[in-house]
A = this chain, B = another copy of it.
Amino acid sequence: MRVYHNQLEVRTSGKGTYEVTEEIQEKLDKANVRNGTVTIFVQHTSCSLTLMENAAPAARRDVERFFEKLVPEDADYEHNDEGPDDMPSHIRMVLTRTSETVPIVDGKMQLGTWQGIFLFEHRRDPHRRRVHLTIIGE
């Protein structure tokens, strides 16, 4: 058993979902851990992590539109000095996830057929986002 740390940088070009499944699998291939888990941890408070449907782009757009309506930019927020997309980004992040732990068997993440891993960017401006990977296994 050992612990292996790694990092991804995700360059976002505004609000939306960015798939990182393949980049994570490539890091696992290099780490050469056959059995264990990978914990994916997003180090930010204005973007988040989600696993979801990765085949239909329309489904991703529906998810993004749902969050635009549920947590609107034009609500009356007390914390409003960093732009209209700032406070909604913090709330959307609380409603989604920061970390997920995915099983690894025979070196491969055990995702379902339609599961992809996404960074969910909630800010309008481009950002460089850091995703920490911790692989525990043998």
Chain B residue numbers with a CB within 8 Å of A138 are 2-3
Q: Tell me if A59 counts as interface (CB < 8 A to partner B).
A: yes
Assembly CA distance A45 to B8 (angstroms): 24
Given A43-B110, A100-B98, A91 and B62 contact (CB-CB distance below 8 Å): yes
Q: Are A35 and B100 in contact (CB under 8 A)?
A: no
Q: Tell me if A128 counts as interface (CB < 8 A to partner B).
A: no
Mask: chain A, 1-43; 1 = CB below 8 Å from B; 0 = not: 1110100000000000000000000000000000111010111
Q: Which of A39, A43, A45, A105 has the most B CB atoms < 10 Å from its CB?
A: A45
List chain A positions with a Cβ less than 8 A from chain B.
1-3, 5, 35-37, 39, 41-46, 50-53, 56, 58-59, 61-63, 65-66, 70-71, 77-79, 87, 90-91, 93-103, 105, 110-112, 114-115, 130, 132, 134, 136-138
Could you jot down 25 A-B contacts, CB within 8 Å?
A: A1-B2, A3-B36, A3-B137, A39-B101, A39-B103, A41-B101, A41-B103, A41-B110, A43-B111, A43-B115, A45-B115, A59-B79, A59-B87, A61-B79, A62-B77, A62-B78, A62-B87, A63-B91, A95-B95, A95-B96, A97-B97, A98-B115, A101-B101, A112-B130, A136-B136
The 9 lowest CB-CB distance pairs between A and B, nearest first, are A43-B112, A58-B79, A59-B79, A103-B134, A1-B1, A45-B53, A58-B78, A51-B98, A39-B101
